């Protein structure tokens, strides 16, 4: 059975790391942010926090808070028809979740990664690409929570993982979380 696993979390929580783990296990990685990067390229704008935010906000203003998921629906549908297991590196708004649950009912699982600001901000400073200092990271946190409705996305995820430890621990937690979710899904369908 095809599966879409969406990963959510605040910046530095380990979304891309988790997606990389799943990719090594055969999942195909989809990044909703690609639509933003494509738009930046069309406009000949450099990749920066301010340019990315501007383009994301314009897309969401025009298409609603589920815009990035909406723009990825056709690709996801093709992958699902092929029976693929897909990991979405970065689900943001509750509206995106609603759209994905509506289109892929029973085949969509939302995994939330949690960790303290201290750990996340430390990771963000060390990033090679798109690194953020603590003040910018806090600004982005508040923007994602207030403007993008990420609070419900984090709170109401199907699987919750605290990611403050090692890569190995994260890998095990993902495996256990998915196993439990699949078991719960089968139980729901049978009863």
Assign 8 to helix, strand or coil.
strand
What does the alpha-carbon distance between residue 81 and residue 75 come to, in Å, rounded to a whole number?
10
Q: Tokens 């993008």: give the residue.
A: 148
Q: At what angle do helices 67-81 and 34-42 cross, to 10 degrees?
A: 120
Give the tens place of pLDDT for each residue, 56-73.
889 999 999 999 999 999
Q: Indicate the pTM of the whole model.
A: 0.88
Strand 85-89 to 28-30 pairing: parallel
pLDDT at 105 over 80: yes
**Mind giving me the DSSP string for 111-159?**
EEEE--HHHHHHHHHH-SSS---HHHHHHHHHHHHHTS-HHHHHHT-SE
Fold observed for domain 3-184: Rossmann fold (3.40.50)
Residue 187: per-residue pLDDT: 54
Domain boundaries, the chain: 3-184
189 has pLDDT over 70: no
């Amino acid at each position: 059975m095809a599966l879409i696993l969406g990963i959510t979390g605040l910046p530095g929580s380990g979304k891309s790391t988790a997606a990389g783990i799943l990719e090594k296990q055969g999942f195909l990685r989809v990044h909703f942010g690609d639509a933003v990067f494509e738009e930046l390229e069309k406009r000949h704008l450099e990749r920066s926090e301010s340019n990315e935010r501007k383009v994301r906000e314009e897309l969401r203003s025009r298409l609603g808070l589920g815009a990035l998921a909406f723009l990825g629906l056709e690709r996801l549908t093709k992958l699902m028809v092929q029976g693929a297991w897909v990991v979405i590196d970065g689900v943001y708004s509750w509206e995106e979740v609603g759209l994905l649950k509506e289109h892929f009912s029973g085949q969509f699982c939302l995994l939330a990664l949690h960790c303290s600001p201290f750990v996340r901000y430390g990771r963000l400073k060390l990033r090679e690409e798109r690194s953020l200092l603590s003040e910018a990271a806090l600004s982005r946190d508040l923007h994602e929570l207030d403007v993008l409705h990420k609070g419900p996305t984090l709170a109401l995820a199907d699987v919750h993982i605290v990611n403050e430890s090692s890569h190995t621990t994260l890998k095990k937690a993902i495996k256990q979380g998915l196993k439990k979710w699949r078991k719960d899904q089968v139980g729901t369908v049978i009863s």
